[in-house]
């Protein structure tokens, strides 16, 4: 029930932002050029693929997908939680599970397909050419995101676009998409943060 309320609040904030932004130029503070964030460590999410290498045990080494419930299954290890862990942490957990069967197992985990956890994905809604969900990458910028979604439509009010920053309690920032994409103003480029929602309203003129 709590999750439903949080989800409703999130999408409600996005809907309000789209409506308000489309009616007039927003009054949100400008997004900081550099996202204030500690060194980023990628954490595994559903849909990722991980390559598990067990030293001297090739029959236990394989590539497996992370299931929608966030778990993986390998020979001798069933239903191990992978979501929310980095590769090193998952490797240590697999080693612990294998200790029942192998003496001093040494495991390496390499993430080979990146989707990331739901909470860290970048969402692009509104007047993007291809609204979509993107995996977050360290130092990802607004320009990177716009290239991935094919830019904005002819009906977009790019300079009224905003970033909803879930990492800061859904705080909103103003961005200048039109200046960045149509005028080549690199000063309008900003860094993204995990969980950001890019909201591009429609122009009413």
What is the tens place of the pLDDT at every residue in 31-82?
999 876 667 889 999 999 999 999 999 999 999 999 999 999 999 999 999 9
Average pLDDT over residues 116-129: 96
Burial of 95 (0-12, 13-18, 19+ CB in 10 A): middle
> Distance between terminal CA atoms of the chain?
41
Domain coordinates in residue numbering, the chain: 25-40+118-200, 49-113
Is pLDDT at 15 greater than 80 in this prediction? Answer: no
The secondary structure of 86-129, three-state, reads: CHHHHHHHHHHHHCCCCCCCCEEEEEEECCCCHHHCEEEEECEC
Of all residues in the chain, what percent carry a pLDDT higher than 70? 86
14 pLDDT band (50/70/90 cuts)?
low
pLDDT, position 26: 80
Does residue 112 surpass a pLDDT of 60? yes
For residues 115-140, average pLDDT: 96
| pLDDT tier, 115 (very low <50, low <70, confident <90, very high otherwise) | very high
Q: What are phi and psi of 143, to 5 degrees?
A: -65, -40
pLDDT of residue 35: 76
Kindly state which CATH superfamily the domain 25-40+118-200 is placed in.
Answer: Outer membrane lipoprotein wza domain like (3.10.560.10)
What is the spatial distance between Cα 65 and Cα 62, in angstroms, rounded to a whole number? 10
CB 120 within 8 Å of CB 111: no
pLDDT single digits (tens) 141-164: 999 999 999 999 999 999 999 999
Is the confidence at residue 8, as pLDDT, over 50?
A: no
Question: Mean pLDDT, to the nearest integer, of 101-121?
Answer: 95
Using 50, 70 and 90 to split pLDDT, how confident is the model at 25?
A: low
- At the topology level, CATH places domain 49-113 in wza like fold (3.30.1950)
Bridge partners of residue 64, in order along the sequence: 50
């Amino acid at each position: 029930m709590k999750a439903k309320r949080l989800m409703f609040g999130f999408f409600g904030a996005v809907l309000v932002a789209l409506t308000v932004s489309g009616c007039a130029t927003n009054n949100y503070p400008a997004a900081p050029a550099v996202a204030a964030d500690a060194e980023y460590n990628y954490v595994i999410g559903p849909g990722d693929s991980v390559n598990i290498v067990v030293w001297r045990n090739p029959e236990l080494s394989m590539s497996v997908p992370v299931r929608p419930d966030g778990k993986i299954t390998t020979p001798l290890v069933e239903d191990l939680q992978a979501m929310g862990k980095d590769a090193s942490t998952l490797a240590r957990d697999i080693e612990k599970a294998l200790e029942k069967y192998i003496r001093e197992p040494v495991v390496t985990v390499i993430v080979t397909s990146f989707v990331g956890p739901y909470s860290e994905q970048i969402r692009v809604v509104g007047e993007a050419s291809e609204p979509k969900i993107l995996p977050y990458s360290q130092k990802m910028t607004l320009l990177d995101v716009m290239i991935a979604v094919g830019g904005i439509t002819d009906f977009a009010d790019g300079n009224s676009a905003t970033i909803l920053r879930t990492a800061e309690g859904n705080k909103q920032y103003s961005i200048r998409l039109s200046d960045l994409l149509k005028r080549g103003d690199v000063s309008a480029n900003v860094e993204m943060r995990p969980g950001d929602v890019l909201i591009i309203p429609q122009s009413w003129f």
